[in-house]
Amino acid sequence: MSLHALRGHEGARAALARAYARGVLPSALLFHGPRGVGKQRLALWLAQLLVCELPGEGPCGSCPACKMAASLEHPDVHWYFPLPRPKSVAGDRLVDALEEARLEELAAIREQPRRASHTDEVRGLYVGTVRSIRQKAYKRPVMAPGQVFIIGDADALVPQEASPEAANALLKVLEEPPGNCRFILTTSEAGHLPPTIPSRTVPLHLAPLSEPEVAAFLRDEAGAGAKEADWAAGLSQGSIGRALGFLPEGGEPGPLEKLRRQAFEIVAATDGPRASTGHVLALGFPPAGARTLVELFGFVEEWLRDLAAIASGARETVIHRDALAELDRLAAKGDLVPYRVATAFSQVERARELAVANVNPQLVVGSLVRELRHSLAQLPSAEVPA
């Protein structure tokens, strides 16, 4: 099975192909932009172009090298991405275990190119990963003029672990790539990259895709119906990865759709008749594992943003268009004015900090609902607990 077709990014593709044809393509690139817009897919496209025997405005797609690259089997194209840390191994065994895990994941992607991107597992790029990249980089390419290394989600390079030696090893190969090695790093969290990486790579920003591009992907590659594809694309903010998270899985709402609904409950609870609504809602959360709340609070912020859009008469900018009627009702009831929403945003930000600090989720959610009731619902002060 081959990788799914690359969508969008025509401008970036043309610029990369032109630079390559003129011999001015930088040896270390950094693709940055929102999560799920296809940065690693574009990196794989570029890798295919770099090994293609008849390159033009893109990889020819039909030479043996192109075919091997498209099925993730080209011996000179190495795709790295964050992985769960292998348990109870260290040293050189760790390098081997990571490489084994990477090859297993590549095999899984080959089977199912629509890679699931939602996982609660902690994943990283470890010292062992860097060591493996370095070992390969100093070997000769097997059939292409040079090797290509893709390092996806490079912000996941684990800093606290990285001995200075390992960090320096990566910087050195980025700065002076051995042979004809090329490196393509990707990140959606450029601010979290080790500071030395941006200065050694040439950045290329990738913008969100258009809604029709996302919808076409969902129909053609993910088997979504036309209506479902349009709905998820409308919520996607130009990210295929995000859109996939809304699609139902095995008769259940998708993982992001679950979070989106849960976030709406938090915002809507501010409208409930009694302050206890928040406590009841909070009890639905597990008493531990607060870090998973961070994504939930992202959705709470989106709902607040939508409420603010409606309150300021900018209905056309609402993200969650399928909930316009409910948003209207909430906005009208709360008599929203901008400073109320601004206060609510800072309350969510504070809740996020508590979640990152691993405070009990029931406490975090309970106090967030209580605070939001205060800021959004214009309650008489007597009803607001101190």
Where does this chain bind Zn ion (CB under 5 A)? 52, 59-60, 63, 66
Question: Which two tokens mark 302?
Answer: 């989106």
Question: Which two tokens mark 377?
Answer: 């619902």
> Minimum Å distance from CB 74 to Zn ion?
11
Number of residues written out for the chain: 386
Nearest to Zn ion of 144, 154 (CB atom): 144
> Minimum Å distance from CB 151 to Zn ion?
23
Nearest to Zn ion of 60, 363 (CB atom): 60
Closest CA to 174 of 139, 202, 207, 146: 202
Residue type, 167: A
Nearest to Zn ion of 68, 351 (CB atom): 68
Q: Are 313 and 251 in contact (CB under 8 A)?
A: no
Nearest to Zn ion of 63, 106 (CB atom): 63
Separation of alpha carbons 343 and 372, rounded Å: 9
b vs e for 65-79, b when ≥16 Cβ sit within 10 Å of the residue's Cβ? bbbbbbebebebbbb
Nearest to Zn ion of 66, 127 (CB atom): 66
With a CB cutoff of 8 Å and minimum separation 6, the contacts of 174 are 28, 183, 197, 200, 201
Q: Which residues pair with 151 in a beta bridge?
A: 80, 185
> Minimum Å distance from CB 51 to Zn ion?
8
Nearest to Zn ion of 51, 169 (CB atom): 51
Half-sphere exposure of 53 (CA within 13 A, CB side): 9
With a CB cutoff of 8 Å and minimum separation 6, the contacts of 372 are 266, 267, 269, 270, 344, 347, 348
> Minimum Å distance from CB 42 to Zn ion?
17
Closest CA to 28 of 233, 177, 191: 177
Separation of alpha carbons 373 and 268, rounded Å: 9
Separation of alpha carbons 348 and 215, rounded Å: 31
Nearest to Zn ion of 66, 377 (CB atom): 66
| Local structure of 32: helix, strand or coil | strand
> Minimum Å distance from CB 58 to Zn ion?
9
Nearest to Zn ion of 70, 233 (CB atom): 70
> Minimum Å distance from CB 163 to Zn ion?
40
> Minimum Å distance from CB 62 to Zn ion?
6
Q: Are 91 and 129 in contact (CB under 8 A)?
A: no
> Minimum Å distance from CB 75 to Zn ion?
15
